[in-house]
């Protein structure tokens, strides 16, 4: 169970790093982690508003 949780957290961390440094779409063109978090928050806000 601990191994599965560790793998899950590593996978999520890798996915977050990938999104932070490889901007997808036109939300963040600079590719900094802060911009990725801002675009992630705006995406969550858009999902909440629907």
Assigned token pair, 37: 């978090």
Virtual torsion, Cα 33, 34, 37, 38, nearest 10 deg: -140
pLDDT value of position 28 = 47
C-beta separation of 35 from 28 below 8 A? yes
pLDDT digits (tens, 9 = 90+) for 1-50: 898 888 888 888 777 777 666 655 545 455 555 666 677 777 777 777 76
Q: Shortest CA distance to 47 belongs to which of 26, 20, 39? A: 39
C-beta separation of 29 from 39 below 8 A? no
């Amino acid at each position: 169970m601990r191994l599965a949780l560790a793998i899950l957290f590593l996978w999520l961390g890798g996915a977050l790093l990938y999104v932070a440094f490889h901007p997808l779409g036109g939300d963040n063109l600079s590719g900094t982690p802060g911009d990725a978090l801002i675009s992630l928050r705006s995406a969550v806000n858009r999902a909440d508003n629907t």
